[in-house]
Amino acid sequence: MGYEMGGERRRWWLNRSAMVVLWVVVSLGIWACLHLYIRRVSMRKAEEALVSMCEERARMIQDQFAVSVNHVHALAILISTFHYQKHPSAIDQETFAHYTARTAFERPLLNGVAYAQRVAHMERERFENEQGWIIKTMKHEPSPMQDEYAPVIFSQETVSYIEALDMMSGEEDRENIIRARATGKAVLTNPFRLLGSNHLGVVLTFPVYLSGLPADATVDERVENTAGYLGGAFDVESLVENLLRQLAGSQDIMVNVYDVTNISEPLIMYGPQQPDGYMSLSHVSMLDFGDPFRKHHMECRYSQKPPIPLSAITTPSGVFVICMLAGYILYAAWNRYDNVKEDCRKMEELKVQAEAADVAKSQFLATVSHEIRTPMNGVLGMLDMLLDTDLNLTQRDFAQTAQVCGKALISLINEVLDRAKIEAGKLEIEAVPFDLRSILDEVLSLFSAASREKGIELATFVSDRVPEVLTGDPGRFRQIITNLVGNSVKFTERGHIFVQVHLVEHSNMVMDVKSEAHINGHSDEQDHKSNKTLFNTLSGLEAADNRNSWENFKHLLSNDASQNGMPGDSDSGGVTLIVSVEDTGIGIPLQAQDRVFTPFMQADSSTSRNYGGTGIGLSISKCLVELMGGQINFVSRPQVGSTFTFTVVLQRCNGRAIDDAKRAIPEPLPTSFRGMKSLIIDERPVRGAVTAYHLRRLGITAEVVCNVKTAINMLAGQNGYPKSYGKQPNLIFVEKDSWSSGTDAGLCKQLMQFKQNGRSVELPKVILLVTSEYDKTKTSFEDGVIMKPLRASTVATCLQQVLGAGGVQQRKQTPNGSTFLHNLLVGKNILVVDDNKVNLRVAAGALKKYGANVACAESGKDALSLLQLPHKFDACFMDVQMPEMDGFEATRQIRLMESKVNKEARNTGREGSEKSEWHLPVLAMTADVIQATYEECLKCGMDGYVSKPFDEQQLYQAVAKFLLSKPEQ
């Protein structure tokens, strides 16, 4: 073994030496590559600099040439204007020579300019008599007879020797003249040696037209209107030489200018005949002198090869030194490689353990929730069955207390599971139609007992602009409202809790109106009575958020009243709601407001001791609001209260979805109260508006007055009220705060006068509105008492009792609740499958309670034996987790049996058979409430999902859609 270790160490040293040599070779290679790269970059930069300098010179040559051409053009216009349009002409040879001499500085590239007039053959004799000389050729000989001539009549002093010469006599000049008058542009000749300077140059020819030539003239029209030709000689060599002398770096580059009209034989215009310098780098820039028939370009190159930059030596050498240092560092670090490798291996093991712990946590959460909910299902189920037996008051109180505690434990488990779903990103939002107002009524019913016990006002208000039925997740919306209202009830000992729902755009519009009202001094936030400040809120106590003021609320009510009917529910599109929950509780300390939405955090340690709670509800609410496309925030003032406001984005529903949602409401509101008139006596306008809102939901019109005295004046037609002020109300609602022995006698007297005067057949019913059980003291005068919080269904029930059978038609039997659930299940054969005997008894007892015939099975195999086709069962409640054969496999076997029988029935064509298609509704019955379990239930063929423990409403929702349409056998 020692020999093997020695051989391994020797190989290790050999490998290390080879790595060192390889590293030095690689470093040298890097030095060479970097050196070549920097040289290449340097040459590229030199090439770019050459291109830039060449393009700059070409551009400047073109610019100066263009300036000279523009001046020649201006001179042509001058001749056209003052020679041909003036009679007599304002220009003669002396004037032209004097003007061109004075303006020669504007044409530094031109040796001189001359003007040749176009003369036809028939006009030659007259022209020569007028000029006093004969037309000569370029060789100073009399011009032979031809169709037309172009004799020079005006010339600059520097080219006076060409006067009287016919420019048409030269072949190249004649070609330039013909091209110039046909195109209307300046044209150029081939380069030639200029007289005097002996420099290479070109002759520029520009046509002069008579007036009246259109811009889009044809060639024939241009030729017809040609009056003459203006020409000038350009000294190209002087032009380029002057530019190169002015520019920096001219000594570093060499320039050649070529006429490349004939690309096979380019004519050199500037530069040496035999190009020299560094020929490896060169650049060609095109020159545009305005003549489309002639092409020129400039070729630039360095006079000598660019030097090798110093960085091509220093930079690679520095990199080589760095590579050597890096190699030394790597060599020194090699000794610690084994330790680092071992640490990495341990870290990988820890990572695997952490991932396994995370999976185990999720599995533990699902298992624990299932294990807790399974016995809790038995506990709550047995308590429910116990409460259906004959118990004395003490026993019933004990059982109800145990039931409440069990439901609280289930609620806590659900909150923890929701938080786990949110952290895992597996919480999904449904999109089903629901009635928002019914959900708020349900939430109020949950906290009605606590609010009555504390004597606080608990109320809801939904704007008439909010559609009656919306599409969203009703369960999660209810959860948010329940969390916020539950916190308010927990931390509020006096005052009120007020829930408002409005459209966001409507609320923003009213806020603008409210701001203007404050500016104009019409704010009525407070009333001062008996040296005590009363705020215009639901309870008269100050609220934390001033935006929820009476003035704001009043504008919302007025805008709702101006709206004709409910908003169109059939309209498609999104609806953004703003919901506020206002309370007058203890508020949130300022130092704790930044952690309100942190999970498992309370405002301070004393909060959990005095009020209880886990501090998880608000964090879940915030996550749910964000999942529903909204935001949540709050305003809180210690010892004043808190106002939580959130927005949600929902969708409108079509007509069919609205009808389905209304049918699913547990207690649909009666329609028999529509058309009735009521009078509300309440000294607090917000509270009176809330009462009127619930009456409007029943179809009852409402008028709100501030006290009984005002109501008496209204009924009697006094103090400005007309005698015929509407018809007598059918109902009078009086708040307990506005009720006294003196005022009730006056109201009674006025109502009796109504009856004696024949204005009514019977007296209106007087109903007292009270907040707590302590105030529920019915006197001989009022006809009924309604306990708050107000809900439309409880108000309807009270009105039915007050009005009696003669006053209003009784409500029909509604398809919900215990009665309808009994009608739905009575006589139905239902199979319950569960391996837990307690849960089996609970489920069977709950179903038998509503008249169902229940058969039980303790395993999936027993269920399959009972469900052999044909069977007599109408539905099956299947537990998911069972030994031997779980609920998933059992359901798959059931669907396989049904599929075979249905296929055989279709093949044999038994149309009139008793049951042509078999499909038994199978509902999962499990304590798991995680999304994966629900998806697995649907995947294996189950029709629904009932979580343990289930209540009456949950049971109804699970079986109604299967048994309502099921024909009787």
Residue 912 has pLDDT above 70, yes or no: no
Q: What is the predicted pLDDT for the residue at 779? A: 56
Residue 193 has pLDDT above 80, yes or no: no
- Worst-scoring range by mean pLDDT, 219-228, 273-282, 498-507? 273-282
Better-predicted residue by pLDDT, 423 or 410: 410
**Residue 80 per-residue DSSP state:** I
> How many Å apart are CA 429 and CA 419, to the nearest integer?
14
* Count of Cβ atoms closer than 10 Å to residue 2 Cβ: 6
Give the pLDDT score at 578: 92
Cβ contacts of 366 within 8 Å, gap of 6 or more? 928, 930, 933
Find how far residue 301's CA is from the centre of its chain. Answer: 59
Query: Rounded to whole angstroms, how far apart are CA atoms 492 and 587?
Result: 9
> Which pLDDT score, from 0 to 100, does residue 665 have?
57
CA distances from 50 to 251, 254, 652, 735 (A): 13, 10, 70, 97
- Identify the weakest region by mean pLDDT among 300-314, 626-640, 943-957: 943-957
**Per DSSP, which regions of 870-953 are E strands?**
875-879, 922-926, 944-947
Q: Identify the pLDDT of residue 522.
A: 40
Segment 853-857 shows an average pLDDT of 91
* pLDDT range class, residue 151, cuts 50, 70, 90: very high
Which of 413-427, 433-447, 765-779 is the least confident region?
Answer: 413-427
Q: Please state, in angstroms and rounded to a whole number, the distance separating the CA atoms of residues 284 and 792.
A: 91
* Highest mean pLDDT: which range of 220-229, 792-801, 837-846: 220-229
pLDDT confidence of residue 780: 54
pLDDT in the model for residue 967: 45
Angle 708-716/741-756 helices, nearest 10 degrees? 10
Which residue type occupies 150? Answer: A
Residue 520's pLDDT band (cuts 50, 70, 90): very low
**DSSP class per residue in 445-476:** HHHHHHHHHHT-EEEEEE-TTS-SEEEE-HHH
Identity of the highest mean pLDDT range in 388-397, 697-706, 808-817, 943-952:
697-706
Q: Are strands 875-879 and 829-833 parallel, antiparallel or unpaired?
A: parallel
pLDDT in tens, 653-674: 876 666 655 555 555 677 778 8
Hey, what are 352's tokens? 């695997």
CB 277 within 8 A of CB 299: no
- Please indicate whether residue 199 or residue 893 has the higher confidence score (pLDDT): 893
Mean pLDDT within 395-412: 76
How far is the CA of 644 from the CAs of 500, 636, 714, in angstroms?
11, 8, 39
User: Position 92: which residue type?
Assistant: D
Contact 947, 927 (CB under 8 A): yes
Lowest mean pLDDT segment, chosen from 162-171, 313-322, 876-885, 907-916 = 907-916
Look at 618-627, 651-660, 743-752 and tell me which has the smallest mean pLDDT.
743-752
Contact 770/798 with Cβ under 8 angstroms?
A: no
Per DSSP, the residues of 14-64 read HHHHHHHHHHHHHHHHHHHHHHHHHHHHHHHHHHHHHHHHHHHHHHHHHHH
| The overall pTM is greater than 0.85 | no
pLDDT bracket for residue 279 (50, 70, 90): confident
Alpha-carbon torsion angle 796, 799, 805, 811, nearest 10: 0
Cα Rg, the chain, nearest whole Å: 52
Over residues 535-570, the pLDDT tens digits come to 788 888 888 887 777 777 777 777 666 654 444 444
Assign 500 a pLDDT band (cuts: 50, 70, 90).
very high
Please give the residue that has the higher pLDDT: either 932 or 507.
507
Residue 609 has pLDDT above 50, yes or no: no
Alpha-carbon span 251 to 625, nearest angstrom: 76
Lowest-pLDDT range of 175-189, 283-297, 609-623, 710-724:
710-724
Q: How many residues does the chain have?
A: 969
Outline where DSSP puts E strands in 126-219: 148-149, 152-155, 187-188, 192-193, 200-209
| Residues forming beta bridges with residue 458, ordered by sequence position | 497
Instruction: Identify how many contiguous H helices and E strands the chain contains and give both numbers.
Output: 26, 31
In the chain, what percentage of residues exceed pLDDT 70? Answer: 78
The SS3 assignment for 258 reads strand
The pLDDT score that the predictor gives to residue 786 is: 86
The pairing of strands 253-259 and 226-235 is unpaired
pLDDT value of residue 891: 92
The Cα 393–Cα 414 span in angstroms is 31
Q: Which long-range contacts (CB under 8 A, 24 or more apart) does 402-409 make?
A: 406/376, 406/379, 406/380, 407/380, 409/372, 409/376
In this prediction, residue 831 carries a pLDDT of: 92
931-962: per-residue pLDDT in tens? 556 677 878 888 887 777 666 666 666 777 77
> Would you tell me the crossing angle of helices 550-562 and 685-697 to the nearest 10 degrees?
30
Tell me what the pLDDT averaged over the chain comes to.
Answer: 78
Residue 630 corresponds to which amino acid? G
For residue 28 the two structure tokens come to 């040298």
pLDDT band at 498 (very low <50, low <70, confident <90, very high): very high
Section 733-762 average pLDDT: 63
pLDDT-based confidence at residue 426 (cuts at 50, 70, 90):
low
- Mean predicted confidence (pLDDT) in 372-396: 78
Alpha carbon distance 152, 175 (integer Å): 17
pLDDT of 643 reads 92
28: pLDDT strictly greater than 60: yes
Q: Is the pLDDT of residue 913 over 50?
A: no
With 90 as the cut, is the pLDDT of residue 507 above it?
no
CA gap 257, 191 in Å, rounded: 11
Residues 6+ apart with CB under 8 A from 751: 715, 763, 764
pLDDT at 523 over 60: no
In degrees and rounded to multiples of 5, residue 673 shows phi and psi of: -90, -5
Q: Would you say residue 524 has pLDDT above 50?
A: no
Whole-number pLDDT of residue 762: 65
The arithmetic mean of pLDDT across residues 618-625, rounded, is 87
pLDDT of residue 805: 45
pLDDT at 259 over 90: no
Asked which of 6-20, 425-439, 790-804 is least confident by mean pLDDT, the reply is 6-20
| pLDDT score recorded for residue 391 | 80
